[in-house]
Chains A and B, each alone.
Chain A
Amino acid sequence: MIVGSFPNLTPAEIGLPVLEKSTPAADLAPSGKSASSSAGSGAGFSNFIERAIGEVDSKLQAAEGEKTKVLTGESNNLHQAVIAMQEANVAFSLMVEVRNKLVEGYQELMRMQV
């Protein structure tokens, strides 16, 4: 669901606009189209990333809360705490995976011959 919604990423959208300007790879793209696409979907994309990271963070905090409750003796739901931690773990792994794909795509672009 998350991976599917990354159409045609440009370096600018990954959050590396400075590098894009100074590299020949960026000059290859038709300037008008690239400018409009990064201006149009840049905000949407960063919003999306922000929301995804917020989701992961809320999971981590939920896990932290459960863990604290168990450790302070407020609750004895050991399994609930472990499950919350696992959920946070999986969400974090997904986030890392998405980041890896983005960086990979960017590096692929940088390796392009001119």
Chain B
Amino acid sequence: MNFITGINSTASALQAEKTRMDVVAENIANAHTTRDANGEAYKRKVVSFQTALDASTGSTGVRVSKISDDTTPGDVIHDPQHPHADKDGMVQMPNVNTAMEMVDLISASRAYEANLSVARNARQMATKALSIGR
């Protein structure tokens, strides 16, 4: 018995958007990381979502299907003093564009807010329904 209908879809969306925000945080944090576990420059992470059917309620939610690497090449800059510079003094920088990450952050944060509004409204509807005849 669930009085706030649709809340399960909203909860899954909140979880998904939070993951997206976490990934943006990861990308921004590693905007200048020139070495990862494989000895290469950091690769920007991208989140993709997919629908998820909740069998117990029959509602369709969303879940993170994959966190994949963005394979576009990053800038190569000339910095001979850099410890990771090759023999020509060139350094492979990560393919993170901070401005783009900020846009992603705004988008994720707005989507989160939208889902919060849905949750709030669903609750208000339930509360209003309880006050019928009062």
Q: How far is the CA of A83 from the CA of B8 in the complex (A)?
A: 9
Closest chain B CB from A78 CB (angstroms): 9
Tell me if B's interface is mostly helix, strand, loop or mixed. helix
Query: Given contacts A55-B1, A80-B11, A94-B3, are A86 and B123 in contact (CB under 8 A)?
Result: yes
Interface residues on B, range: 10 to 19
B 1-36 binary contact with A (CB < 8 Å = 1; else 0): 111100100110011001000000000000000000
Chain B residues contacting A97 (CB-CB under 8 Å) are 130
B68 within 8 A of A: no
Instruction: Report B102-134 residues with CB < 8 Å from chain A CB.
Output: 116, 119, 123, 126-127, 130
Please state if A87 and B3 are interface contacts (CB–CB under 8 Å).
Answer: yes
B residues whose Cβ falls under 8 Å from a Cβ of A: 1-4, 7, 10-11, 14-15, 18, 116, 119, 123, 126-127, 130
A residues whose Cβ falls under 8 Å from a Cβ of B: 55, 77, 79-80, 83, 86-87, 90-91, 93-94, 97
